[in-house]
Structure 1
Amino acid sequence: MSGSIFGKMFRISTFGESHGEALGVVVDGCPSNIPIALEDIMKNMDRRKPGNPKVATARKEDDQVEILSGIFEGKTTGTPIALLIRNGNQKSHDYTQIKDVYRPSHADFTFDQKYGIRDYRGGGRSSGRETVARVAAGAIAKKFLEALGITVTAYTRAIGPITVAPEAFCLDECRENPVNMPSNQVAEEALAFIAEAKANCDSVGGVVECLITGLKPGIGETVFDKLDARLAYAIMGIGAVKAFEMGSGIEAAKMLGSEYNDAFYSTDGKVNKHTNHSGGTLGGMSDGSNLIFKAHFKPTPSIAKAQQTINTSGKNTQIEIHGRHDPVIVPRAVVVVESMAALTLADLILCDLGANMDHIKALYSKK
């Protein structure tokens, strides 16, 4: 299987299956002397774990990270960083009912068509559990960005039709409720909506928004490696994401040019914009304003309602999926979005170091 490597300079390679012995990641190209402790990684991992039973599965995921290489005495060494997360609390027998049946909206059918074999225990490599490796690696990318004064903050903007309006937005509240919404009041509405869907053996989707601050102008390339294009590639690579929006996104198609264009102004020699419909990018490069994008997540596909499907023999049948499944994955996906954004930025920043000869000379002269 190809497609398990992400990045050019700051590169990760993930491995493992949801019901195998372990999952893990190798981070290559990370600069040395970045202070990082196991606790820094575990903070990210803990945010991905199932938490409140109202919004998450009942299964337990300890997700204890083992650092195998690349970190010594609390700092990165510049060598490959290997991280391992052993699987536990698996109930593979829960999946025997779907061994010969293709679950709607899962990768079962396509895996069989491509490889002629699939790990039916939770989806194997296509399971959302694969993202634990990305979250572990993302913690390292975040520490790299933190040293440069760059912050990456994601939160739940919507659960189904329940959306946080601009006037209700309070970023400080997104860590105070189980759905990671920047409004405790709207979060209560979202929880009621989730509870109703769960009672009906159904699931819901939603939108994760990500805000990035401290990024200087010029990160990203103008053709194939545009900042927004690379972010879209990274975020759409999260299994349940079905749409990506930068800035005003699809609303831009409804605007006039005079409404959409972000007018510049200068204050004390600093370039600013009156609006940020572009989401912080111009010509594929960061423009120095806040970077902002949205990731739209589909409803959790594993539901206990009866669904029409086919079996591996091509015969029509029905399926009801029971077991430990999230009624909504959006709150747990917030940290996954942050991690993929951080990995993208770390990679592009390192790639950017060779863009200007004056910068290269300045760096080389310090040796």
Structure 2
Amino acid sequence: MQSPKAKLLTSPQLTADGLPLSMGESLTQTSEQGLFVQVRNNDKTGWVSKLFVSPLPPSEKIKLGAASNSSESVLARQRASDFTKTAAARGLSETEKLRVRGGAELYDFESLRWLESLRLETNVVTKRTDTSFSRSVSSDTEQEVKVGRALAARLIQKYNLVKEEELTKYINRVGTRIANNSSRGDLNFRFGILDSNEINAFACPGGFIFLTKGSLHQIASEAELAGVLSHEIGHVVLFHNGSFEKMNVFLEIVTGMLGPSGGEVISAATSATLDELEKQFFETGRDISFEWEADEAGVILAAQSGYPANGLGDYLGRLTKAPNAKQLTHTHPDTATRVTKLAKIESTASNKDAPAVKEEWSQYKKLIP
């Protein structure tokens, strides 16, 4: 489901006047600015958010409905894609059979399946309720989800998953509302809580997003929760983890048995890719341009979903004094600078056309362990 609110805007900001666009409509890109691209639509010229369009290579055509790979940080995005291929090649040399023998202790798929099995309220639209893939989902998306599931299982093994059902369902309701306003209708986003007092959040390929309980304790409102989730969703929508096109067996995850408690067999190539992605999470961080893009996307998506645009900025402003945000500040741009930039973006965002959102954070925050 793509956003029905996408418009051909008169200027590169969401508050600008604009004409409605139909899903799947083809547009011709002429230039770009930040998270917006300038396009021609028949005899009209205007702007549209990259959160709602996808490229149609090799031409300059784009269409409404999926995130664009075209941006001022295209070189950085290419590097993100390249490192997944490099890791795959490195993994290929590790073993002819391309399977991790042993290594089950690195993954917790059982807890991940608990998260995937939660039944959300019927008013929350999801794309898939299990890990199978319909024929309408591309092989690239299948591959992205498979890699993302394996990375999610690694994070859960590292920190443990908080299995507080009502709180997790609530966070999934908020997150899904936001994700449904993005272009990634091919994904069934899932949101989980990691058992760590460190303040951090993680966006895995394929729409698996995690917040630590330490970050949840710092959140003061549903608007702030929406801002944090929107930032992480932005990373996924804008393909900041790189591309995961099917490259023969390079990134293949073979379903099978991995020891008595398993259910997944991870290729050595995929294991190498996961090592690289995990290194980004805890050591190197993403390319700085990706973080700026995700901050802007976080404001836009939250506002489009009916939340105040200043949620993410308020949250980050409080983190400048938090002692347990060391990991977050190590892998992200300077927090004070982010807050300053967000203030400018917030002034261009609007939620006036979005349905009202009922504030429920106070009743669920008490469920955080």
Larger radius of gyration: 1
Q: TM-score when scaled to structure 1?
A: 0.28
Larger proportion of helix: 2
Q: Which has the higher strand share?
A: 1
So what's the TM-score if we normalise by structure 2? 0.28
